């Protein structure tokens, strides 16, 4: 019984630790190291699962660069992204939010072209969401300053 109680306590504590923001330099360094090793959508999803609480500031900008780079230059892997996001709608929102103004203009333009011209069969809705996010970021980049 003590083992079960200890196990439940560990699960409870680990869940509450995950829910907090990164509060130490070590946590930020660990998240930054993990982010720098991402090369595919499985890696992005793993970062999201383990470190989304650290997704702020320079780490958030780095994740935006990773998301946009994958969409712009590894569009062929987008079916893998769609499969993952169909299982986790919050992850889909997170990915779309990382298509933002902190990235390269030309990559956003390439994403739009990919979404329009290279959309996998039966993925039109998904591609339209990606295209819309990239268009929104481009509009914000080119809007005149107030």
Return d(Cα 143, Cα 48) in angstroms, integer. Answer: 30
Return d(Cα 130, Cα 71) in angstroms, integer. Answer: 9
Residue keyed to tokens 């230059």: 73
22-52 per-position pLDDT tens digit = 888 999 999 999 999 999 999 999 999 999 9
120-133 per-position pLDDT tens digit = 889 999 999 999 99
- 3-class secondary structure per residue, 90-145: HHHHHHHHCCCCCCCHHHHHHHHHHHHHCCCCCCHHHHHHHHHHHHHHHHHHHCCC
71-127 per-position pLDDT tens digit = 999 999 999 999 999 999 999 999 999 999 999 999 999 999 999 999 988 999 999
Beta-carbon contacts of 104 under 8 Å, excluding residues fewer than 6 positions away, are: 65, 68
pTM above 0.75? yes
Mean per-residue pLDDT, 48-63:
93
């Amino acid at each position: 019984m003590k083992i079960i109680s200890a196990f439940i306590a560990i699960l409870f504590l680990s869940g509450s630790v995950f829910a907090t923001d990164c509060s130490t330099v070590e946590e930020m360094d660990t998240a930054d190291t993990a982010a720098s090793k991402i090369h595919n959508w499985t890696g992005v999803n793993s970062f999201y699962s383990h470190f989304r609480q650290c997704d702020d500031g320079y780490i958030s900008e780095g994740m935006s660069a990773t998301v946009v780079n994958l969409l712009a230059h590894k569009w062929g892997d987008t079916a893998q992204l769609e499969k993952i996001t169909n299982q986790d709608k919050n992850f889909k929102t997170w990915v779309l939010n990382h298509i933002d103004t902190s990235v390269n203009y030309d990559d956003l333009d390439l994403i739009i072209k990919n979404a329009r011209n290279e959309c996998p069969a039966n993925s039109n809705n998904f591609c339209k969401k990606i295209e819309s996010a990239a268009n929104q970021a481009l509009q914000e980049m080119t809007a005149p300053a107030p």
